[in-house]
Chain A
Amino acid sequence: RKEVEQDPGPFNVPEGATVAFNCTYSNSASQSFFWYRQDCRKEPKLLMSVYSSGNEDGRFTAQLNRASQYISLLIRDSKLSDSATYLCVVNTWEGLTGGGNKLTFGTGTQLKVEL
């Protein structure tokens, strides 16, 4: 099983739609979670961190379910500019002798918002 798994998509949605992505992780000891956005042929950029209580930033809502080991990203009122690949990133502390913090990136979910 991959450490971090995402549905690669693409998710094709009309403008204004609501779309949700899930990401599952295999290590129950993982401690912090993030969503990064990557535009085509560009570098990843932090979209938002994912907090245990869930958090919202404008049209974006992130949730964490530790019991089922998944995080989710909900985008409301999709815009054409939301078209991108969304990377799930999981941080696991591997101890001082184990290399410290380990960031594992998912392969990404591609979103295409259409007129």
Chain B
Amino acid sequence: NAGVTQTPKFQVLKTGQSMTLQCAQDMNHEYMSWYRQDPGMGLRLIHYSVGAGITDQGEVPNGYNVSRSTTEDFPLRLLSAAPSQTSVYFCASSYRTSGQGVYEQFFGPGTRLTVL
């Protein structure tokens, strides 16, 4: 199993450009999410999905879109990149969330994004 994969590993964008960060998992996990990690701020949830066709906003969703057409894939789209979106982006998946409990989160290796 490859686990959670992310592409690209590194990306430099100019302000206003758009791009898609790819995330895929081969563990048949229902729950997938996107986080950004910035110095001194911890991981913050951008968007998440509890299954194919279902997505919802997290703590910091502005400027990002997601879709979940298959169980395996959960791409994150930056609509019009801004310098404030310079960050490390992690995709994560878990078996599911079950009522008032969570399962182990498996993270991808991350995408380091710089917006000039």
Asked if A11 is an interface residue, CB under 8 A from chain B, the answer is no
CB distance A46 to B100 under 8 Å? no
Q: How far is the CA of A77 from the CA of B109 in the complex (A)?
A: 29
Asked if B70 is an interface residue, CB under 8 A from chain A, the answer is no
Within the complex, the shortest CB–CB distance from B107 to chain A, in Å, comes to 4
Segment at the interface with B among A12-20, A50-58, A68-76, A104-112:
A104-112
Asked if B45 is an interface residue, CB under 8 A from chain A, the answer is yes
Interface string of B41-56 (1 = CB under 8 A from A): 1111100001000001
Q: Chain B residues with Cβ under 8 A from A32's Cβ?
A: 101-102
Q: Which one of A43, A100, A101, A103 contacts B108 once the chains associate, using CB atoms below 8 Å?
A: A43
CB distance A46 to B42 under 8 Å? no
Secondary structure at chain A's binding surface: helix, strand, loop or mixed?
Answer: strand
CB distance A44 to B90 under 8 Å? yes
Q: How large is the interface on B (under 10, 10 to 19, 20 to 34, 35 or more residues)?
A: 20 to 34
Q: Chain B residues with Cβ under 8 A from A93's Cβ?
A: 99-100
Q: A107's closest neighbor in chain B, by CB?
A: B42
Q: How large is the interface on A (under 10, 10 to 19, 20 to 34, 35 or more residues)?
A: 20 to 34
Q: Which one of A43, A100, A108 contacts B97 once the chains associate, using CB atoms below 8 Å?
A: A100
Asked if B75 is an interface residue, CB under 8 A from chain A, the answer is no
Q: Chain B residues with Cβ under 8 A from A4's Cβ?
A: 42
CB distance B90 to A107 under 8 Å? no
CB distance B109 to A31 under 8 Å? no
CB distance A101 to B100 under 8 Å? yes
Q: A8's closest neighbor in chain B, by CB?
A: B40
CB distance B107 to A31 under 8 Å? no
CB distance A46 to B105 under 8 Å? yes
Q: Beyond A99-B56, A105-B42, A108-B42, is A43–B110 a contact (Cβ under 8 Å)?
A: yes
Q: Beyond A43-B90, A43-B108, A44-B90, is A103–B102 a contact (Cβ under 8 Å)?
A: yes
CB distance A43 to B109 under 8 Å? yes
Within the complex, the shortest CB–CB distance from B5 to chain A, in Å, comes to 11
Within the complex, the shortest CB–CB distance from B21 to chain A, in Å, comes to 14
Given contacts A93-B99, A100-B50, 14 further A-B contacts (CB under 8 A): A8-B40, A32-B101, A41-B110, A42-B109, A43-B109, A44-B105, A46-B104, A87-B43, A91-B101, A91-B102, A101-B97, A101-B101, A102-B45, A105-B43
